Amino acid sequence: MSFSKQTDILVIGSGIAGCAAALAAARNDASVMIVTKATEPSDASTDWAQGGIAVTGNNPESFREDIIEASDGEAHPEAVDALVDNARGVVDDMLIETLEIPFDGAAPKASLDAYDRGREAAHSERRILHVNTTTGEHILRPFLAHLQSHDDVEFVDNAMALELLTHEGRVHGTSVLRDDSVTSIFAGATILATGGVGACYETSTNPEGATGDGIAMAALAGARIADMQYVQFHPTAYPGDEPFLVSEAVRGEGAVLRNATGDRFMPDIHPDAELAPRDIVARSVAAERNRTGEVRLDVAPVDPNFDRAFPGLTDRCNDRDIDLDAGIPVAPAEHYLCGGIAVNTDGKTTLDRLYAAGECARTGVHGANRLASTSLLEGLVWGRAAGRKASQVGIDDITSIETTSPLDRDPALPASFVDDKYRRLRNTMETAVGIERTNTGLSEARSTLRRLKGEVDAYTRTRVSQPLYELRNATICGLLITRAANDAPSAGCHQIVDTETTESTVGETIADD
């Protein structure tokens, strides 16, 4: 069964970037529809964010310098200016005045400078607003509640966007799978805010639904995709059963990394030691684990009352019987994609009436490595900009456009099909496209992923299901990451550790693979 709906602004995704875009558009009297796979807030990466949100203090120039240095010099100056120049205004507007987020250190709706500021890796000063180590959920849940009470905003949850609807070079919405029905949702403008690509890797700090949907849909529609080689690995994730992120804020407050022999190793690697840029710390932790067998985060220097300083983290450790006196076992895990759908400072993509914000967008602000606690800020700044710009676009009479979706004409998928393909994808990405890469490994991974994409495509031509389309999207993203890594010199979190050269493939599209 297929039918259609219409709205001024279609937002795909319900994390902080999607919420900011929806609020900005609704404030401009646009009708907004939010389509999301989520059924609860924890399905979005925003809800998992621990450390906090960076804001400009008395020295904006130092914030710019920190972003550029952490990016290995690859950040785009105009994007950095957009982030820094809008930081205080967007946080004050949306988080403090509108949502009254209870940041630590002062009452809600206090002056921005009244709140406590934390420090994290590669920051030269304390500028991180936070709520304990559960900042993301304290932002996202009030944001969703605020939008759900807004007259101009409609939520379509437990729904998956399948394909962008395009006509004569313009994006007019998307087809959506919900309750075994495919709906065409037409819109004056479409904003992708679908998050990251954690599903491509065996170990990730992302929720399960981070399958790169927006990036894959945009790539298939012909949008420019950029900097996919820059996949950031967080250096301190608990590697045991039920893994979890150990916030960088803990190192910002004095925790140190020790190897299996108890030696602190980071001071010998970088002058900022544990507060070096994430890519450097992640590679160092991986190397020490390989050399000595284990790395632990020693939290003894933090605070004699660690449980009071970090109650959420203490609870996670207690739930897993981790002895805090012995330190928290840590290992790198895939964390954040710095590349994605190429956008300008308004969130506009290379396709007409298509915008993107948040982790799925490549704004250029992160360059080759993201500075800690800038992801929530980026989502706010570009989400608000995209919502404002998109709401200025009128809606065409486009409901007569013919749309097609695959039909389940063939028998159901083999029971293990999706799981088996994910295993191949993740093993390939973890082995060849991880913290350190070789040209030979990337070339072999690329061939493997091309074959995998062909196998998945053979099923998506005739079947519609959420697991199958998520697999398709993750496979496309894995291929885009691998292909970009195969063609790019080392920088930041993309490191080639051999000197072989490979044939350039600049100019290929996803269809070529």
How far from 80 is each of 15, 60, 493, CA to CA, in Å? 22, 11, 19
- Structure tokens of 329? 């076992």
pLDDT score of 413: 80
Query: 77: how many CB neighbours lie within 10 A of its CB?
Result: 12
Cα separation, 342 vs 364, in Å, equals 8
- Rounded to whole angstroms, the Cα distance separating 293 from 262 reads 12
Res. 180 pLDDT band, cuts 50 70 90: confident
Give the model confidence (pLDDT) of 441-478 as tens digits. Answer: 999 999 999 999 999 999 998 889 999 999 999 999 99
pLDDT in tens, 236-248: 999 988 889 998 8
The proportion of the chain whose per-residue pLDDT surpasses 90, expressed as a percent, equals 81
Q: Give me the pLDDT at residue 406, please.
A: 53
The predicted model gives 288-298 an average pLDDT of 97
User: Please, is 272 exposed, middle or buried when counting C-beta atoms within 10 Å of its C-beta (0-12, 13-18, 19+)?
Assistant: middle
For 220-234, what is each residue's pLDDT tens digit? 999 999 999 999 999
Residues 244 and 114: beta-carbon distance below 8 Å: no
- Distance (Å, whole) CA 472 – CA 217: 10
Buried b or exposed e, range 492-502, using 16+ CB within 10 angstroms:
bbbbbeeeeee
Is 450 noted as a catalytic residue in this protein? no
Q: Which domains does the chain have, with CATH numbers?
A: 237-333 (3.90.700.10), 417-512 (1.20.58.100)
**Percentage of the chain exceeding pLDDT 70:** 93
Q: What confidence tens digit (pLDDT) does each residue in 333-374 have?
A: 999 999 999 999 999 999 999 999 999 999 999 999 999 999
| Catalytic residue selected from 258, 278, 283, 370 | 278
Rounded to an integer, what is the distance from CA 385 to the centroid of its chain?
Answer: 18
Phi, psi for 33 (deg, rounded to 5): -120, 125
